[in-house]
Amino acid sequence: MKRVLVIEKDAVTARRMGSLWESAGYETFLVTDVGRAAFDAGRWHPDLITLNLEGSEGDGREVLLQLLSRPQTSRTPVVLFSGKEKKSIPQALMTSVRAVFDKPVLFERQFEKTPQFVSAPG
């Protein structure tokens, strides 16, 4: 079964995103503690990571840097959710990023676009 790691500080939003992936047949792991996100990603080996880039003190960017710097996750596709324009994200951070969706996010609509970044569940 394909695995999707959802990194989102807000637990309600994380559960909502996770349930969308699960209803489509993917196994999900929710991380609401951004301090553990890169560690959990390296331990769990997801096929795709979704990450809320916004947050206090640049948490999302720091997590993305950690994901890119670790051998276990440096090649894992990442889908970002951001309230800023895509061009405001430094190019160096975009190496594993497959898509950037603007906030506010209509998760159901964006979800229809994201399975293309990870192969079908199974």
pLDDT digits (tens, 9 = 90+) for 81-116: 776 655 556 666 667 777 776 665 556 666 666 666
What are the sequence ranges of the domains in the chain? 3-109
Strand 48-52: give its sheet, edge to edge: 27-31, 3-7, 48-52, 78-82, 97-102
Alpha-carbon distance of 30 to 33, in angstroms, equals 9
More confident residue, 57 or 23: 23
Alpha-carbon distance of 53 to 116, in angstroms, equals 20
pLDDT digits (tens, 9 = 90+) for 68-78: 999 999 999 99
Token pair for 69: 């710097």
The CATH homologous superfamily for domain 3-109 is Response regulator (3.40.50.2300)
